[in-house]
Amino acid sequence: MIDLMPTSEEQAAAIVRAHREMNRLLAICGGDTRSGFGNAVAAEDRLRSTRLSGILAYNPGEMVMTARSGTPLAEVEAALSENGQMLAFEPMDHRPIMARSGEPTIGGVFAANVSGPRRLIAGAARDSLLGVRFVNGSGEIIKAGGRVMKNVTGLDLVKLIAGSHGTLGFLTEVTFRVPPRPKTERTVVLSGLNDAEAASAMAAAMALPVEVSGAAHLPLTVTWKFLAGKLPEGEATVLRIEGLAGSVDARIEKLVAAMSALATVTRLDEGESRRLWREIRDVLPYADGTARPVWRVSVAPGTGHQLVAALRLEAGVDAFYDWQGGLVWMRMEADPEAELVRRFIKLLGGGHATLIRASAAARAATAAFHPESEAVAMLSRRVKEKFDPAGIFNPGKMGER
């Protein structure tokens, strides 16, 4: 496979037009940190964004940034940190769990709609995206959206591109919101709750007027892997509070008072809190260098623990919970057990299961993305035909965004 790395939007468009004329398939790629994620892509060449790099516009007072798609995520976050701002959706770094190197790019973050623990209150990556420029499958340069929220022209198109995994176009530029970074944070740890009890406790915490920005449950099988084993003994249900120091202290006291009736409560300082939520974000327990299957399952917060309990009766599975229990990270012992996982999800009211990691053989035999309903699949095909009529982008992922 040949890596094609254009240095301009026009070069990228010319490459796409040439491949369409030759009917030669293209894999879309950024920093190559998520290879192995999703369905296998059959393509002769790979179109990469890494030389389309640089921050184009950033005025901290406007809280908006525009950057070329191949700009390293680290460069974006460093610029934001200098000005006390952040990516609100807290994007995950897939390198540890996928055993990849390379540098994540800001375009790749939005193309995969990568969102971390703060999605609970801040929304997904696509909710921060204001505008895009991309090359469609006909080699045309398309602009959608704008630099401010009042300009909503093409906003739906912007949302459509986010999370499309390169099936609809090659991103060249992104414009996105960058809100202030909280001045400090603390985390409350509830010890000894089982999965069902933790789900109830997290729901109670979210209902309090304390603005919890992270709610996760770490069962006994994974607790010891976080903070180098320094969490309190037993299961850990963790709740994050962020903001100004005085406000955080006051809200922590209210949270501790309410949660003390449910479990033994301890607190993490700012440094420990930041480290813990990075480890939760990056799925540290399953960054084990193996190819054992890992699922990312999105369900209603109250049913995540039910799903895991049902699966444990049928298959070897380890799991922990983010997003108040609505995001379940599961590692299977051997086979992905896709039919079983998705059947139980359906029985529990629905959701989505995405196979993040597996061996090459398992990936070849398993649909990585959750099957779409007939109506949605038909719409996906129509959208794909409009954006990429020759079907040259990321073949194998069509209709599975």
Residue (of 232, 127, 136, 141) closest to 190 by Cα position:
232
Helix (H, G, I), strand (E, B) or coil at 145: strand
Q: Are 340 and 311 within 8 A, CB to CB?
A: yes
Mark the ranges of the chain whose per-residue pLDDT is less than 50.
148-155, 398-401
Q: What would the pLDDT profile of 305-328 be if each residue is shown by its tens digit?
A: 999 999 999 999 999 999 999 999
The domain made up of 2-177 has a fold known as 3.30.465
Fold of the CATH domain 184-281: Alpha-Beta Plaits (3.30.70)
Cβ–Cβ under 8 Å, residues 99 and 282: no
Enclosing H/E stretch for 234: none
CA distances from 326 to 105, 277, 295, 345 (A): 27, 16, 13, 12
pTM: 0.93
User: Which residues are CB-neighbours of 84 under 8 A, at least 6 positions away?
Assistant: 60, 180, 181
CB 176 within 8 A of CB 85: no
Report the C-alpha gap between 29 and 40 in whole angstroms.
13
CA 37 – CA 381 distance, rounded (Å): 21
Question: Which residue type, as a one-letter code, is found at position 222?
Answer: V
In contact, 91 and 73? CB cutoff 8 Å: yes
Residue 92's alpha-carbon distances to 63, 124, 282, in angstroms, are 21, 11, 5
pLDDT of residue 150: 41
Domain limits, the chain:
2-177, 184-281, 284-365
187 and 268 in contact (C-beta within 8 Å)? yes
Task: Tell me the per-residue pLDDT of 343-362, one tens digit each, with 9 for 90 and over.
Answer: 999 999 999 999 999 998 99
**Around Cβ 359, how many Cβ atoms within 10 Å?**
17
Q: In this structure, what token pair is assigned to residue 399?
A: 């209709």
What's the Cα-to-Cα distance from 43 to each of 2, 37, 311, rounded to whole Å? Answer: 10, 15, 35
Distant-in-sequence, close-in-space partners of 138: CB < 8 Å, separation ≥ 6 = 16, 17, 20, 388, 389, 390
Fold of 284-365: Alpha-Beta Plaits (3.30.70)
Same fold, 184-281 and 284-365: yes
Q: Which of 60, 108, 105, 104 is nearest to 86 (CA)?
A: 60
Question: How big is the CA angle at 20 (ends 16 and 21), to the nearest 5 degrees?
Answer: 120
pLDDT of residue 395: 62
Q: What are phi and psi of 19, to 5 degrees?
A: -70, -35
pLDDT for position 94? 95
